[in-house]
Amino acid sequence: MDGIHDLGGRQGFGEIDVDESDEQFHEPWEARVRGIVNAMSGAADWNLDWFRHCRELLDPADYLSRPYFDQWVQTYCAMLVNSEVATVEELASGKSVAPVSGMPAPMRAAAVKSARPGAKRYDREIDVGPAYSVNDSVRAKSHGIPGHTRLPAYVRGHAGQILRHHGAHVFPDANALGEKRFEHLYTVGFPSSELWAEAQRQNATVYLNLWESYLEPL
């Protein structure tokens, strides 16, 4: 979707706040939210791409102005309401009116030490071979995609070259609709001069990881 989240190459956001301290969380509630999200159980048909899409659908002004973990809170609230696990009134008051059934048990404290969130795999072997090989020239498709997608606007219609093939990974556009499909994934390099009229150097390249159906042969 052509939403506010698709920020690559947009202009006018000003300087970066580079003097930030090394603390991982700046407020106690932020650490708490991170912990809640790691520890909570959820509907069986939730996944990372659905979460991302629900965050992309925040009101654009909220997306740009609200603290990051506050956006997580509202995104999970929206997912809970949408899946009929909680009502807006319950989320506003923090008081449960009706119990939920059919949820998996939440994580226990004893399981946290051995939890390995980074160990989750998103790839799978598929029967279809890759359409592209390393060094092939490709073009990113030029049309936008209405729902969730990981094809950023700034590369659409531009030519690049395959740097690496990563096997088949879960396809985000379908995953965000609750549909598990796997597609070949490639790292594609786009020369900065191909992407930007004012490219600063000839020897600059932007690399993206793009699924096969985002690409066409050149």
Partner 1 sequence: MTKHDSDTIAAIHRELHSHLPSEPALRAKALESLLVEKGMIDPAAVDAWVGAYSEDIGPKNGARIVARCWIDPDLKQRMLDDAARAVKELGYEQSHLIAVENTPDVHNLVVCTLCSCYPTALLGMPPNWYKMAAYRSRAVRDPLGVLAEFGVALDEQVEIRVWDSTAELRYIVIPQRPAGTDGWDEAALASLVTRNAMIGTERDLSARAAADT
Restricted to residues 57-96, the positions that interact with partner 1 (CB under 8 A) are: 57-59, 62, 64, 66-70, 73-74, 76-79, 81-86, 88-96
In three-state secondary structure terms, 167 is strand
Contact positions with partner 1 (CB under 8 A) in 93-152: 93-96, 99-100, 103, 106-109, 111-113, 116-123, 146-147, 150-152
In the complex, what is the shortest distance from the CB of residue 135 to partner 1, in angstroms, rounded to a whole number?
A: 17
DSSP string across 28-85: HHHHHHHHHHHH----TT--HHHHHHHHHTS-HHHHHHS-HHHHHHHHHHHHHHHTTS
In the complex, what is the shortest distance from the CB of residue 29 to partner 1, in angstroms, rounded to a whole number?
A: 4
In the complex, what is the shortest distance from the CB of residue 218 to partner 1, in angstroms, rounded to a whole number?
A: 19
168 contacts: CB under 8 Å, gap ≥ 6: 123, 124, 125, 126, 182, 183, 184, 185
In the complex, what is the shortest distance from the CB of residue 60 to partner 1, in angstroms, rounded to a whole number?
A: 10
Q: Does 42 bind partner 1 (CB under 8 A)?
A: yes
In the complex, what is the shortest distance from the CB of residue 137 to partner 1, in angstroms, rounded to a whole number?
A: 19
In the complex, what is the shortest distance from the CB of residue 200 to partner 1, in angstroms, rounded to a whole number?
A: 5
User: How many other CB atoms sit within 10 Å of the CB of residue 149?
Assistant: 22
User: How many other CB atoms sit within 10 Å of the CB of residue 124?
Assistant: 12
**Mask for 155-194, x = binds partner 1 (CB under 8 A):** -----------x--xx-x---xxx------x-x----x--
**Mask for 5-24, x = binds partner 1 (CB under 8 A):** xxxxxxx-xxxxxx-x-x-x
Q: How far is CA 127 from CA 88, 133, 164, 175, in A?
A: 45, 17, 19, 19
Cβ atoms of 217 and 186 closer than 8 Å: no
The single residue among 156, 181, 205, 213 that binds partner 1, judged by CB under 8 A, is 205
